[in-house]
Every structure is written in C-alpha cells, then in structure tokens.
C-alpha cells in the first residue's frame, strides 16, 4: 500500500462520516421482501387456514414501510447507520424467509398440517393463547432462576474449594469427573425419591446441570493460576483470604465464565425436560401438552419464545462478563 | 532528577536491613533425584549496600533471592535479617521479578496498591500509591491496564508496587533482563537514583556484567550449579558512574575473565 493511499483512507472515512453515506440500499430490498410477504399473505387464497392473516399482513406490511423509511430517510452516519449496514442482508433474508414460509404452508399446502405451521399460525397462537403463555414463561423463569442461581452458587463455591485446597481436590475431583458427564436428567429417579415435591426436584436437576460445568471450569481455572501471582501476593503481605479473593478469584474468572455459559445452555435444555415431568405450568409443560394434541403450531410458537429467552440471557451474561473482564486482554 | 526530588519529599526515611546468609545449601527433588542448587553460601550484605550477583544461567541466583525473600526455606543453613531468622515473606523485603507479574485484571493503580490493600492499610495510606507512581513516572498511566503498557512501563509499575511498601531490602531478579537495550539503559539510571535517594539495601541478580559494575557497590561471581561464591569485586566508584569509565571497563574485563568468557 502506498503512503498516499494510507493517508487518503482515514481522510475518506472521516469525510464520509461528516457528509454521510447515501441511501441505505439493502433497506429497499428488505422492504420489498417484507412487502412481498404481506402481499402473499393477503392476496393469495389459503389452501390451509391458520388464522390471523390480517394481523400478520399488517405487521410485516408495517415492517416493510419502516424499512423503506429507514432506507430513504434513515440515519446517514453514526452508530445507528453502522448497525443498519451490518444487518441489511439479514433484513432481506427474513423477508424472503417469511414469504416462502407462508407460501409453502398456508398458500399451497406443500408443507402439510399438522407437521408444519405457517407464520400466521404461530402468530395466531400468540394472539389466542398469550395469557397461558405468559403464565408459562413466569413459571419457567422462576424454576430456571432458582435452579441456575442455586446451581452456580454451589458450583462456584465448590469449584473454588476444589481448585484451592489439595485435600478437597483429592476427594472432589474424581467424583466430579465421574458425575460430570452423566446427563442431569439421568438423576431424575433418585431426585424424586429425595425431594418431597416435583418443583424442588426440578430445581435440583436444573441446579445440577448448571452447577457442574461452573464447578469444573472454576476448579481448573483456580488450579492453573500462575504461582508467580501468589508469590507476589505473599511477598506483599497477603494472607490466604486475600490470595483467594483477590488473586485466585479474578485470575480464574475467564474460566468461570466459560463454565457459566455452558451451564446456561445445559440448564435451559434440562429445564424443558424437568417441566415435562408433571409440572402444572411452564414452557416445557406447554410443549409437552400441545404435542399430545398434535398442536405443533403451539409447539413451534413456544420454541421461538424459549430461543428468545435463552438468547436474551446469554446476551445478559456477555454484558456482565465484558464489564467484569474489561481490563483483561483477549476476552473482549 | 525528578525521581530524587520526589523521594526527598517522602515522609519517612527507609529503614535499613542487614542480611546474613550463613552456610546455606539448597536443592530440589526432581523426578526422585536430588538436584543441589546452592552449596554452602556465606554472604553478608551491609545496610544500604547494593550487591550484584553474577553467574551462569541456572546456577541458582534466583533461588538465593527467593530464599532471602522468605518465599522458600533453605534445606540447610540460615538466612537472617538484622539477626532475626527469615521464616516468612515480609513486605520489608520485596522481590521484583524478571517478568513484571502485574495482575492483568487490575489497573496500574490497583496493582501498585496491592501491598497496602493486602495489609488493610490502603484506606489510610492511599496517597503513597500516588507517590510511588510519581516516583517511577507513571502518574498518567494510573488507570491503564497492564496489557496497555510497554515492557519498560510494566517493569516501572512493578518497581512502584515494591517501593510503595517502603522496603528496606529490594531483591531484583534480572528486572531489566527482558527489556530492549535503550529502555534498559534508562531504567539502570533510574534504579541507581532510586537507590541513592531511598538507600534501601539492594541485591541484584543479572547476566549483564556491565550492568553489575555500573550499578552495584560489590559484585559477587557465582560458580556453576551448585552455586558457590567464586569471586568478589568491590566497585569503589562514586555515583553517577559513566559506562566508559576506564576503571569500570577494566573491572568489567576482569569479571568476564572470572566467568571464563572472552573479553
């Protein structure tokens, strides 16, 4: 690269930031694909009716209008524009996906009921059954929150002890390595014997699934801390409590977060299974209940909710991690 | 020199420490065999003295420093500070490593404050952290994280982390060993001015003969492992010293000859 072009590039970038970029062209395409979804939904006759056609057409039609608006009169520079530029292709793809999905299900019946559902069908589930779904979300979050919370508290304390104390590690590590690979759901029979209620048993199963990866990763993180850090601490007058809380804990934190991410995914998978075992409410119960009636539209609608919940919690954990590890290179 | 001025403003003079190493032998068990590292070392370091330890790689110089710091206990013999046997590490004797070993999760200010925080006096003496940062010229980098520092700046931060405790003895384990040669020259001068101002006792392990004769008041040459003290040179020259001082050049040649290296 020549020196002139090296100089020219940052200049061009700052110039573009000041004047702004032209039209957000992907927005026009995206608006067209979303508009197509609305037209297909409204204009073509249904081979299989799923309900909520009008509402779906209005929603994607509004989406198309917003995308057109952003393309023509949206931000020309800054953070918002970068986000639009980055996700432009995705907006187009979502419109294409919705159009094809609606066309192949409701409009032609190529993908037949009850195994497949149209997007209008999923929307119809939310419209007609939102109260029960909200209650189920509440129950699931309560079970997950209790299980994950208790699990990571126990797993983290155990992991610290295992990583720090040789005696703990002698007894604990083999046990942990032995029960670690066993799926948490395999403990269900024993759990039902020990816990008086179904709810407590479910909490325990969720806690186990989230606690074990946290414990294993924290233990290995603490055990692999560079001993030079402890030498520095001891030399500067630190007592064991300080060495644990101010050196072992932060040094192992990147490992701990890997464990937390693993625990989050496991606990979500286990949550659904736990709820299928005779709960009264909850997303897992809802999926099970609707499957029995072959109401797969309800099942898919619930899966979408679960995916969004899990993605949201993962995002939240990323935010926490990035705050806590902001100084450490290579993790952000 | 600004470092010297900053030091003059320090509230209390450094305490001094005399180190006695009495017939110390030490070794490690490696795969079932005993590996002797130090062999019958006798050494007296007077308060305020700057002693340099020179010797072949892996001869046990760093081990000796760890023993004096109290991080490890010698297999045989005894090491005493002002006549009292050393059993535990203590913030009055601080070891500075070749790697800065700053805590990557804390910023420079928190790193330098470690000693005060560990002893629970940070709240009342936090001003000393700022003084130490000023002393090594890192005031502007107090909020920086270790990975944002250059090698020289990181080693300065490690020095500040030691000096904030007002140590009577500074044990320097090749602290400039990994720095580029220009940074090394700068930090050599800074080390001397810090020592002249604070007058702590200093023991420096180095591979660099020129550094040893330039900084120290006495150079000890150690043998191959297991290390014994092979030769001793008193460097009787006032500070600041010049690298091209003919006496120091001659001394350097002599030390190199003792080490069996071409001059």
Nearest by CB to residue A327, choosing from B90, B145, B161, is B145
Q: Which residues in chain A are contacts of B106 at CB distance < 8 A?
A: 250, 327
Q: Nearest-CA residue of chain B relative to A234?
A: B89
What pLDDT is recorded for position B34? Answer: 84
The answer, yes or no, to whether ipTM is higher than 0.85 is yes
- Which residues, listed in sequence order, are joined to residue B27 by a DSSP beta bridge? B36
Q: Which of B242, B202, B199, B207 is nearest to B218 (CA)?
A: B202
What pLDDT is recorded for position B15? Answer: 60
Shortest Cα–Cα distance, A230 to chain B (Å): 10
Answer positive or negative: Cα dihedral of A187, A188, A194, A195: positive
What pLDDT is recorded for position B35? Answer: 85
If 0-12 CB within 10 Å is exposed, 13-18 middle and 19+ buried, where does residue A43 land?
exposed
Question: Which stretch of DSSP H or E encloses residue A322?
Answer: helix A296-324
Answer positive or negative: Cα dihedral of B86, B88, B89, B90: negative
> Under a CB-based contact definition with an 8 Å cutoff, are residues A91 and A28 in contact?
no
Shortest Cα–Cα distance, B199 to chain A (Å): 20
The string of DSSP letters for A167-178 reads: HHHHHHHHHHHH
Interface test with A, best of B72, B87, B92, B114 (most A CBs within 10 A): B114
Percent with pLDDT over 90 in chain B: 54
How many Cβ atoms from other residues are within 10 Å of residue A138's Cβ?
A: 13
State how beta strands B93-96 and B50-54 pair: unpaired
> Under a CB-based contact definition with an 8 Å cutoff, are residues B107 and B143 in contact?
yes
Which residue in the block uniquely carries the two structure tokens 């290390």? B227
Q: What is the mean pLDDT of each run of 10 residues along chain A (332 residues)?
A: 44 52 90 96 92 94 96 88 93 96 94 90 95 95 96 96 93 88 84 88 93 95 93 94 94 94 93 82 91 91 94 94 78 44
Chain segment B120-153, per-residue pLDDT in tens: 999 999 999 999 999 888 999 999 999 999 999 9
What pLDDT is recorded for position A180? Answer: 81
What pLDDT is recorded for position A329? Answer: 61
Contacts of B114 (CB under 8 A, 6+ apart): A232, A233, A236, A238, A246, B103, B106, B161
Q: Which two tokens stand for residue A273?
A: 């299974």
What pLDDT is recorded for position B8? Answer: 41
What pLDDT is recorded for position B1? Answer: 43
Q: What share of chain B is helix, strand, coil (3-state, %, to 5)?
A: 35, 25, 40
Looking at per-residue pLDDT, the higher value among A15 and B35 belongs to: B35
CB contact under 8 A, B94 and A229: no
What pLDDT is recorded for position A236? Answer: 95
CB contact under 8 A, B104 and A329: yes
What pLDDT is recorded for position B9? Answer: 41
Interface test with A, best of B65, B89, B148 (most A CBs within 10 A): B89
What pLDDT is recorded for position B31? Answer: 83
**pLDDT exceeds 80 at position B248:** yes
Diameter of chain A measured on Cα atoms:
80
Nearest by CB to residue A328, choosing from B71, B97, B104, is B104
Q: How far apart are CA B50 and CA B246, in angstroms?
A: 21
Q: Which residues in chain A are contacts of B172 at CB distance < 8 A?
A: none
**pLDDT exceeds 60 at position B255:** yes
Q: How far apart are CA A33 and CA A91, in angstroms?
A: 9
**pLDDT exceeds 70 at position B66:** yes
Total CB pairs under 8 A between chain A and B: 74
Q: In which band, very low, low, confident or very high, does the pLDDT at B59 lie, cut at 50, 70 and 90? A: confident
């Amino acid at each position: 690269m020549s020196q002139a072009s090296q100089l020219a590039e940052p200049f061009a970038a700052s110039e573009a930031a000041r004047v702004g970029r032209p039209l957000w062209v992907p927005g026009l395409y995206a608006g067209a694909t979303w508009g197509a979804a609305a037209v297909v939904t409204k204009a073509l006759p249904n081979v299989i009716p799923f309900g909520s056609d009008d509402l779906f057409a209005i929603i994607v039609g509004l989406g198309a209008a917003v995308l057109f608006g952003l393309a023509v009169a949206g931000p020309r520079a800054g953070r918002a524009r970068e986000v639009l530029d980055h996700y432009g292709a995705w907006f187009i793809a979502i419109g294409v996906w919705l159009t094809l999905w609606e066309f192949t299900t409701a409009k032609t019946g190529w993908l037949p009921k009850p195994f497949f559902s149209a997007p209008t069908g999923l929307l119809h589930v939310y419209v007609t059954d939102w109260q029960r779904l909200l209650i189920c979300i509440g129950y699931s979050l309560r079970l997950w929150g209790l299980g994950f919370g208790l699990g990571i508290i126990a797993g983290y304390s155990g992991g610290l002890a295992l990583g720090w104390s040789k005696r703990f590690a002698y007894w604990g590590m083999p046990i942990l390595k032995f029960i670690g690979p066993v799926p948490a759901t395999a403990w269900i029979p024993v759990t039902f014997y020990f816990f008086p209620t179904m709810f407590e048993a479910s909490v325990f199963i969720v806690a186990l699934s989230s606690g074990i990866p946290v414990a294993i990763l924290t233990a290995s993180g603490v055990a692999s801390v560079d001993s030079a850090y402890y030498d520095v601490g001891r030399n500067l007058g630190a007592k064991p409590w300080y060495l644990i809380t101010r050196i072992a804990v932060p040094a192992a934190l990147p490992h701990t977060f890997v464990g937390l991410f693993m625990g989050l995914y496991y606990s979500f998978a286990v949550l659904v299974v736990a709820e299928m075992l005779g709960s009264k409410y909850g997303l897992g119960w809802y999926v099970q209940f609707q499957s029995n009636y072959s109401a797969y539209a309800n099942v898919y609608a619930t899966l979408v909710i679960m995916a969004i919940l899990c993605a949201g919690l993962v995002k939240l954990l990323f935010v926490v991690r990035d705050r806590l590890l902001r100084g450490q290179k290579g993790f952000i | 020199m600004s470092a010297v001025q900053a030091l003059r403003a320090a509230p209390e003079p450094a305490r001094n420490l005399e180190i006695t190493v009495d017939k110390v032998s030490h070794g490690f068990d490696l795969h079932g065999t005993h590996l002797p590292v130090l062999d019958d070392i006798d050494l007296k370091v007077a308060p305020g003295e700057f002693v340099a330890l020179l010797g072949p790689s892996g001869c046990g110089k760093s081990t000796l420093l760890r023993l004096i710091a109290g991080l490890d206990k010698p297999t045989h013999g005894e090491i005493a500070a002002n006549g009292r046997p050393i059993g535990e590490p203590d913030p009055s004797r601080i070891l500075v490593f070749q790697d800065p070993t700053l805590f990557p999760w804390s910023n420079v200010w928190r790193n330098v404050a470690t000693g005060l925080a560990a002893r629970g006096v940070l709240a009342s003496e936090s001003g000393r952290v700022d003084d130490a940062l000023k002393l090594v010229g890192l005031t502007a980098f107090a909020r920086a994280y270790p990975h944002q520092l250059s090698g020289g700046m990181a080693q300065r931060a490690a020095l500040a982390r030691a000096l904030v405790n007002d140590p009577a003895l500074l044990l320097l384990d090749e602290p400039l060993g990994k720095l580029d040669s220009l940074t090394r020259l700068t930090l050599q001068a800074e080390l001397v001015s810090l020592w002249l101002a604070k007058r702590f006792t200093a023991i420096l392990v180095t591979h660099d003969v020129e550094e040893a004769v330039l900084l120290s008041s006495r150079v000890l040459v150690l043998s191959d492992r297991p290390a014994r003290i092979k030769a001793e040179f008193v460097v009787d020259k006032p500070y600041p010293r010049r690298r091209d001082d003919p006496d120091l050049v001659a001394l350097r040649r002599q030390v190199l000859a003792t080490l069996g290296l071409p001059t």
